[in-house]
Amino acid sequence: MKPIATALSESERAALANYYAALPVPAATPAAATVDASAAVLASRGRWSQGLPACVQCHAADGGGVGEHFPPLIGQSAIYLANQLRAWKTGTRHNDPLGLMQGVAAQLSEADIDAVTAWYAAQPMAAPSKESKP
């Protein structure tokens, strides 16, 4: 992605972002993988013995995200989600406001990452939100 992204101008990046954000969200085909009950718990309750908040506390109860800074987790591939968590964990991604995701990822084991990303990827998508930006 780096050479491609680098080749784009600022206005091209903005235009592409707006274009893709405006496309209708296809119905997700949830993974056939067995759903991990502990992943559901991690997503909805966190693990406060380690100071780890639940995903839903920032990304909303349905994983649909909120506002400009807390994106949806549903409708994403498990691979993409896992890559982001690993990137925060290793510090290769560090654009998270207040370092919130780096703090979260630091508390996640590899098994946690696999489980919770598979769980979110398997969640059904709601009807396209009326609030999606044009």
- State the residues that interact with another protein by CB under 8 A: 35, 37-38, 40-41, 43-53, 56-67, 69-70, 97-100, 103-104, 107, 109, 112, 119, 122-123, 126, 129
Minimum Å gap between C-beta 91 and another protein is: 16
Nearer to another protein, 16 or 31 (CB): 31
Shortest distance, CB of residue 115 to another protein, whole angstroms?
Answer: 11
Least Cβ distance, residue 25 to another protein (angstroms): 14
What does residue 94 show for φ and ψ, rounded to 5 degrees?
-150, 35
Q: Minimum CB separation from another protein for residue 63, in Å?
A: 8
Q: Which is nearer to another protein, 13 or 69 (CB)?
A: 69
DSSP lists the bridge partners of residue 47 as 52
Distance CA 68, CA 9 (A): 22
Q: Is 91 left (phi over 0), alpha (psi -120 to 50) or beta?
A: left
What are the C-alpha distances in Å from 128 to residues 2, 8, 65, 105, 120? 30, 29, 13, 29, 17
